[in-house]
Amino acid sequence: MEFSELSDVSFPEMRRSVLSAVLALSDEAYQRRVWIGRQYPQEGYYDDFTMNANILFDDTLVLENPASTLGTILECEEEVEVMAALAAAINDLIDSEGGQKTDAEYIVSPLWGTVVRSAAKAYDVMTR
C-alpha cells in the first residue's frame, strides 16, 4: 500500500499509518481474507481490527480526539468530521457488542456496515 501524496502535516508518517488503518477498516474483502482467513501478503505481516483501532484511537489520537490532530495528522475540518463519524461508529459497535469479540464476530454485527461505510468516507476525504 503506497500513499505517495501526503500533505503538509507535521507528522506525515503518522498520517500514513492512519490512512492504512482507515483503508483496512473500509475493505470487507480484505478483512475476511486477512483478519479472518489469516492470508497475509508477506511473511511477518499481521493485521486485525484491534491493531487498526489501536492505531487510530491510542497511537495517533485521530479517533480519540480528532480536532487535536488538525495540522499534525489531519489536514482540514472535513477530515476531522469524517474521523469523528468513524469514531462514533466504532464506539457504537464496541458499546453494543462489547470489547472482547473476535474479528469474525465484529464483522457480522449489524453495526459493522456503519464502521465500513464511515471508514470508506474517511479514506475518500483523506485521499482527495
Q: Is residue 3 part of a domain?
A: no
pTM, two decimal places: 0.92
Q: Is residue 113 part of a domain?
A: yes
What per-residue confidence (pLDDT) applies to 2? 44
CA distance linking residue 98 with residue 9, whole number of Å: 34
Average of per-residue pLDDT across 92-114: 97
Q: Which residues contact 127 (CB under 8 A, 6 or more apart)?
A: 3, 5, 19
What per-residue confidence (pLDDT) applies to 6? 54
Q: Which domain holds residue 107?
A: 12-126
Q: Is residue 114 part of a domain?
A: yes
Helices 112-126 and 12-26, axial angle in degrees (round to 10) = 140
Q: Which three cell numbers stand for residue 25?
A: 477498516
What per-residue confidence (pLDDT) applies to 61? 96
Q: Is residue 64 part of a domain?
A: yes
Tally of structural domains, the chain: 1
| Helix, strand counts (H, E) of the chain | 6, 0
Task: Say which DSSP state 62 is in.
Answer: T
Q: Is residue 5 part of a domain?
A: no
40-97 pLDDT per residue, tens: 989 999 999 999 999 999 999 999 999 999 999 999 999 999 999 999 999 999 999 9
The mean of the pLDDT values for the chain is 94
CA distance linking residue 79 with residue 99, whole number of Å: 26
